[in-house]
Every structure is written in C-alpha cells, then in structure tokens.
C-alpha cells in the first residue's frame, strides 16, 4: 500500500513538472487552480489504474504452470466506479507443477491452492481433490491416514462438474 502511495505521488510530480515546463515554454502563467486539480486528478487516476491492473500485473509475474481457478470481484464505497465496472480483488490459483497423484489411488490428487488478495500476504491451502466424485477437502497439517493410505475425518465439499478446480487438477497427468 505504501508503494502505491509513493507511486501516486511520483506520477503526480512528473505530470506537474511536465505541465509546468509546458507553461514555461509558452511563456504563460500557469492558472493557480490547475495545481490541485492536476495533482488530485493524477493521483486518483493512478489509483484507479492500480486497482484495475492488479490481476493482470500479478498473473504476469507467475510461471506459465499457474492456472487461475477463481476470481472474486470487489466493490467499495471509496471507489464508487467499481459498482459500474467491478474489479478483481482476490483470486485462487493452482500451480499445476505441484499437483501430486498417488499411484495406488489415481482419482485422488493433492494440490496447493494459492489464495491471493490485494494488500494481503499469499495464503497456501493444501487440498485433496477427488476427481471421481467431484469433491475437494482441506488437508490439515497432521492428517490421519487409514489402512489404505487415505486421510480420514475430512470435510468433503461437492463441486459442480464444470468447476474450474476440477478442470485444472483432474486434467493434469
């Protein structure tokens, strides 16, 4: 958040200096009301740009093996334009290179779901996905396994057949 503030101040200063240089070049006085309008408008415009480009800038930094599972739109009273054009504030990602499959139970996959949100640290949630039954469950740090090698006492959540998590995870060889 501090980086966004510093960036907004820097962009506003650059725009102000360019407009100031223009008025010096044409040898006309700069209108006094132009300074706060210019700085405020530039800072707000940079803030809007930063909000709406967060998803694409974040995904550009990810390796090609990362797939978006879901995105969540955000709206705020402090950015009323988001009610007209929603922005992405959170997303769930899966790195397909980290999906593990048990050869004895090929329908069960273990994957790490990355939960990303603006201005928050990335959370990693280990999940067990059952491709056969279209279910998923969160794995705890110390799962208890039965005699077949499957975790017990899981809270399974049934997913729709066309859920993106199933498409990404179950299509991985």
Going by CATH, does the domain composed of 88-170 fall within 2.40.128.710?
yes
- List per-residue pLDDT tens for the chain, 173 residues long: 788 889 999 999 999 999 999 999 999 998 989 989 999 999 999 989 999 999 999 999 999 999 999 999 988 888 888 899 999 999 999 999 989 987 888 888 989 999 999 989 999 999 989 988 899 998 877 777 777 777 778 888 999 988 999 999 988 76
pLDDT at 121: 94
Residue range(s) occupied by CATH 2.40.128.710 in the chain? 88-170
Whether 150 contacts 105, CB under 8 Å: yes
* 33 closest CA partner among 47, 19, 52, 51: 19
């Amino acid at each position: 958040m501090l980086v966004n503030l510093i960036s907004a101040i820097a962009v506003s200063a650059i725009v102000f200096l360019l407009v100031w240089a223009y008025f010096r070049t044409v040898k006309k006085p700069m209108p006094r009301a132009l300074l706060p309008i210019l700085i405020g408008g530039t800072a707000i415009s940079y803030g809007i740009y930063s909000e709406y480009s967060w998803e694409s800038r974040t995904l550009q930094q990810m390796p090609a093996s990362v797939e978006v599972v879901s995105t969540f739109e955000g709206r705020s009273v402090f950015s009323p334009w988001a009610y007209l054009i929603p922005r992405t504030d959170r997303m769930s990602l899966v790195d397909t290179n980290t999906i593990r499959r048990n050869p004895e139970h090929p329908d069960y996959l273990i994957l790490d779901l990355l939960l990303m949100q603006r201005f928050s640290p990335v959370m990693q949630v280990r999940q067990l996905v059952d491709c056969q039954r279209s279910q998923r469950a969160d794995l705890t740090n110390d799962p208890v396994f039965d005699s077949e090698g499957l975790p017990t006492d899981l809270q399974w959540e049934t997913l729709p057949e066309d859920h993106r998590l199933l498409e990404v995870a179950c299509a991985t060889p």
